[in-house]
Structures are given as C-alpha cells and as structure tokens.
Structure 1
Amino acid sequence: MRILVGGGTGFVGRELSRLLRDKGHEITVISRKPGPGRITWGDLESGGLPPCEGAVNLAGENLMNPLRWWNEGYKKDLFSSRVDTTKALANAIAASHTPPRSWVLVTGVACYKPSFTAQYTEDSEWMPFDLLSRLVKEWEEAGRLPENMKETTKQVVIRPGAVLGRDGGAMKQMLLPFWLGLGGTLGSGRQPFPWIHISDLAGLIAHALELPADASHPAPQVFNGVAPAQNTNYEFTKELGRLLRRPTVFPVPSAVVNTLMGVERALVLTQGQNVTPRRTLESGFEYKYPDLTSALTEIVRA
C-alpha cells in the first residue's frame, strides 16, 4: 500500500513509518518541513491528496512538553496542531477522486472521565467534561468523513493511553530521575494508568490500516490503544524501579505536579481511567507487550 502519514517525523510517527516500510508499504510523510519522501501541510492543501491507499494522522503538539509553560498560547497550539491538521487531511480525502481505502486518526483516552471504579470500552458513551476531553471531541469530529464515503473509505479512530518507549514520550523524561533513585508515585499512586508500548501502538495502526471494512460497526470504528493489563501508577512506579534496581521512595504530591505542569495538564498524571481494549482484542490484534514487565524490560534493556 501507499500510505500517507501526517506527523510522521514524531515519536510515534517514526516507529510507525519504520514498521510500515518493513512490511513493504510505501510511505509519504506530511510534515511542516519539506524533504525526501515528504510533503508539507501547505502542499496538501494546495495540491490535494497524493495517490494513496491509506492515510494516518499523528500530528500534534506534545502535551507533556517540559519546555512549555501551561498557558493560553500552549492550549491554543494543542488544539490547532491536532484539529486543523486532521481537518485538512479529512478535507483532502473527501475531495479526492480516488480516496484511500483506510483513514486512521490517533487521538487519546482523555475522552473518558477519570474514575477509580468505571470500566471503559470502545462502546462507552462519553461527553466532554474538561479541556482535554473537549480537545478529543473536536479532534475526532474534524476527522469524520461525509456519510456518502462509508462505502469507499474505512474510518478508524485509535485512542491510546500513555505511549511507552525509550526514545520519546513520558519515558524519556522519567528514566533519568528513576536511574538516579529519585523516582516515585505521582499523587496517591492509586489512579489507573492506561498505557501501551510504542511497538504495539504502531502495530495496531498498521493492523487498522490493513483490516477489511466492517459494516457492522458505525463509522468511524473505534479501538482503544491500551495494553490489556490494567495497572495503577503505583504498580508502574514499583515495576520500573524493580527493573532498574533503584528505590522508588520519593512520591510527588499532586499539588507539586499541579504547580509544575498546570492543573488541567497534571490531571493526565494524577488521575486516570480503567480502559479496556475490548474491540482491539476482538479484531484479532496480538500484543507484543501485553503486560508491564515485558514492556518495561524491553525499554530498560534497549
């Protein structure tokens, strides 16, 4: 397949592009900067969709960028970098004379309200309740294709939890303090911690691109991009400390996380959701790293 990847130069995009090329697919990346094998977002809007059988959007400002203060400008960038790029790609697909067979949008589990007791599947109903859930709502609506395209283009939304990998995301910021013996739980540590290894997220996106259309599900079809293991922040902290052979005795109070990250952003770390990948498993997807021990062992030893 010829596959177009928005945000293909980012943390997940690099892993996905490598996997797809290994599978024999031809990749074109949409990026802010031109280069070999790339087009820019301006090229997409002016020239339309290049020939492709699959399209994916991973573009978006890093939510946990430690170099950016949580302010109105940052919040605006979070929305525009996701919603505008998704809308541009969806509009190009809708306007194409030969639209792709598959259109995959990767959003997040922030749509599900944090709870110690609720269990969320892909069929769980939800309504926006805070800034990040409103972001997911606008993001997914921006990617929705016209009704008359259901027969030509399969639409899939993947909602990942925290993406674990050595070269980016939350792990890149965590490994140094944990190596120094300064790691600890965030807040109470009791909060659910939905996660997925980066190799499995890339694999799930490829799986979604290659799956045949399923007429029994409404468009878009949703997959929860989380590991089948359900863990708390405490369990994650203790397992990472065990594998690194470092103590984890310095808990970080919620008030400190709120001050450093901003209250709205800190909720991602201090609260969480029990998310189950029911439809992901039913689709036949097989995880390489279904549990914390296997996932963190691969990252620590990489």
Structure 2
Amino acid sequence: MRVLIGGGSGFVGRELTRLLRDKGHEVTVISRQPGPGKITWGELESGGLPPCEGAVNLAGENLMNPLRWWNESYKRDLFSSRIDTTKTLAQAIAASPNPPHSWVLVTGVACYKPSLTAQYSEDSEWTPFDLLSTLVKEWEAAGRLPENISTATKQVVIRPGAVLGRDGGAMKQMLLPFWLGLGGTLGSGKQPFPWIHVTDLAGIISHALEPSPNTPSPDPQILNGVAPVLNTNHQFTKELGRILRRPTIFPVPAFAMNALMGSERAVVLTQGQKVVPKKTLESGFLYKYPDLTSALKGIVGS
C-alpha cells in the first residue's frame, strides 16, 4: 500500500511509519515542513491527494505541551490544528478521482463522560459535555466523507486513551520524577486510566487500513484504541513504581493539577473513563501489550 499520514512526524506517527515500512508499505508524511518522503499541507490543498491506498490523520497540537500555558490562544490551536487538517485531508479524499480504500482518523476517548461506574464501548452514545468532548465531536464531524465517496472509501475513527511509550506522550514527562522517587497518584487515584501502548495503537491503525472485503458503510467504523484491561491511576502508579523499584509516595492533589495545567486540561489526568475495546477485539486485532505489566516493562526496559 501507499499510505499518506498527516502528522506522521509526531510520537504516534513515527511508530506507525516504522511499522508500515517494516511491512513493505510506502509512506508519505504530510508535514508543515517539506523534505524527503513528505508533502506539506499547502501542497495537499493546491495539488490534491497524491496516489495512495490509505490515508491517516494524526495531526494536532499536543494537549499536554508543558511549554504552553492554558489560555484561549492554546485552546484555539488545539481545535484548529485538528479540525483544519482533518477537513483538508477529507476534502482532498473527496475530490480525488481515485480515492483511497481506507481513511483513518485518530481522535480520543475524551468524548466519553468521566465516571467511576459507567463503562463505554464503541456502541455507547454520547453528547458533548465539556471543551474536550466538544473538540472530539467537531473533529470527527470534520472527517466525515460525503455519501458518494463513503461507498468507495472505508472510514474508521480510532479513539485512543493515554498513549504510553518511551519516546513521547505522557510517559516522557513522567519517567524522570518516577526515577527520582517523586512519583505518586494524581488526584484521588481512583479515577479510571484508559491507556494503550504506542506499538498497539500503531498496530490498530495499520489493521484499520487493510481494505474491507465488503462495501464500506456510509458511517465511520468506531474503534476504541485502549488496552483490553481496566486500570485506575492508582494501579498504574503503583505498577510503574514497582517495575522501576522506586517509591510512589508523593500524591499530586487535584487542585494543584488544576492550578498548574488549567482545569479543562487537567481533567484528562484527574478524571477518567472506563473504556473497553469491544469492536477492536471483534475486528481480530491482537494486542502485543494487553496489560500494564507487559506494557511498562516494554517501555522502561526491565
């Protein structure tokens, strides 16, 4: 396959690119900067979709960027960086005389309302209730293809939880304090912590890119990009401390997280959702890291 990846130079994009190339596929990255194996977003808009069998969008400003203060400018960037790139790619697919057979959009589990009791599968209905769920709603809407194209191109939306890996995402910021013995639970620690290893997320995307034997549905197929186990923040914290052989005795209270990060952003860490990958498992995907112990050992090299 020839695969086009928006945001392919980011944390998940690098892992996906490596996986696809290992499988013998050809990858072109859509980036803000030109270079070998890349096209820019401007070139995509002016020149149209290059020949490809699959397209993926991973582009978007990092929600947990520690260098940016939580303000209206940052919020606008979070929305525009996701919605505008998704719309650009979807419009290029719709305008192409030979659209790809698969179009994969990666969003997030923030659409599901945090709860200590409710459990969400891909069939769960939801409506926006805060800033981040509104973002997911608008983001996924921007990726919808017109009906005349959706019968030729399979649409898949993958909603990942916290993506774990050594070279980016949440773990990159957490490892140092944990190594120093300064790690601890966030907030109460009782909140659900939906997560996935970056290798498995790349695997789900690759799996979703495979051509469908049936006529695609006009509605996107939803896949929850989370591990098939349910864990709390407390369980995650204690397991990471155990594997690193470090104490985890410094909890971070929710009010401190809200003050440091802004309450609309801190909610991702201080609250959580019980999300299960029902459709992902039914699709036949096999996880390489189905539990916390294997995932964390794979990341920290134990």
TM-score range, shorter chain: over 0.9
Is 1:144 aligned with 2:144? yes
Partner of 2:110: 110
Work out the CA distance in 1 between the residues paired with 2:12 and 2:195. Answer: 14
Aligned to 1:73: 73
Counterpart position of 1:268: 268
Cα distance in 2, alignment partners of residues 271 and 138 from structure 1: 22
- Deviation readout 1:53-104 (Å, 9 max, x if unpaired): 0000000000000000000000000000000000000000000000000000
Q: CA deviation at 1:218?
A: 5.4
Please report how far the alpha carbon of residue 214 of structure 1 lies from its aligned counterpart in structure 2 after TM superposition. 5.1
User: What's the Cα RMSD here?
Assistant: 1.0
Could you tell me which residue of structure 2 aligns to residue 128 of structure 1?
128
Matched ranges for 1:208-227 at <5 A: 208-212=208-212, 219-227=219-227
Query: Which runs of 4 or more aligned residues in structure 1 lie more than 3 Å from their structure 2 counterparts after TM superposition?
Result: 213-218
Matched, 1:246 2:246: yes
Where 2:3 maps in the other structure, the secondary structure is strand
User: What amino acid is the match of 1:231?
Assistant: N
Offset at residue 150 of structure 1 (A): 2.4
How far, CA to CA, are the matches of 1:87 and 1:115 in structure 2?
Answer: 31
User: Following the alignment from structure 1 to structure 2, what is the Cα–Cα distance between the partners of residues 213 and 18?
Assistant: 26
The equivalent of 2:164 in structure 1 is: 164
Report the identity percentage. Answer: 79
- Contact conserved, 1:27 with 1:37, CA < 8 A, in 2? yes
Q: 8 Å contact 2:151–2:216 — kept in the other structure?
A: no
**1:217-243 deviation per Cα after TM superposition (whole angstroms, max 9, x unaligned):** 652000000000100000000000000
For residue 149 of structure 1, report the CA deviation from its aligned partner: 1.6
In structure 2, the partner of 1:183 is 183
How far apart, CA to CA, are the structure 1 residues paired with 2:215 and 2:185?
44
Q: Deviation of residue 31 (structure 1)?
A: 0.1
Is the 2:150–2:218 Cα contact (8 Å) retained in structure 1? no
Distance in 1 between residues matched to 2:209 and 2:136, nearest whole Å? 21
Q: Does 1:6 align with 2:35?
A: no
1:62 paired to 2:73: no
Per the TM alignment, residue 213 of structure 1 is displaced from its structure 2 partner at its CA by 5.2
Which deviations, in whole Å up to 9, do the C-alpha atoms of 1:151-182 show, x marking residues without a partner?
21000000000000000000000000000000
Query: SS at the partner of 2:208?
Result: helix
Superposed displacement of residue 15, structure 1: 0.3
Q: 1:265 to 1:214 in 2, by over 3 A?
A: farther
Distance 2:240 2:153 in 1: 41
**TM-score, structure 2 length as denominator?**
0.98
Structure 1: gaps spanning 5 or more residues: none
1:211–1:224 distance in 2 versus 1, CA, 3 Å: farther
Q: Secondary structure at the match of 2:35?
A: coil
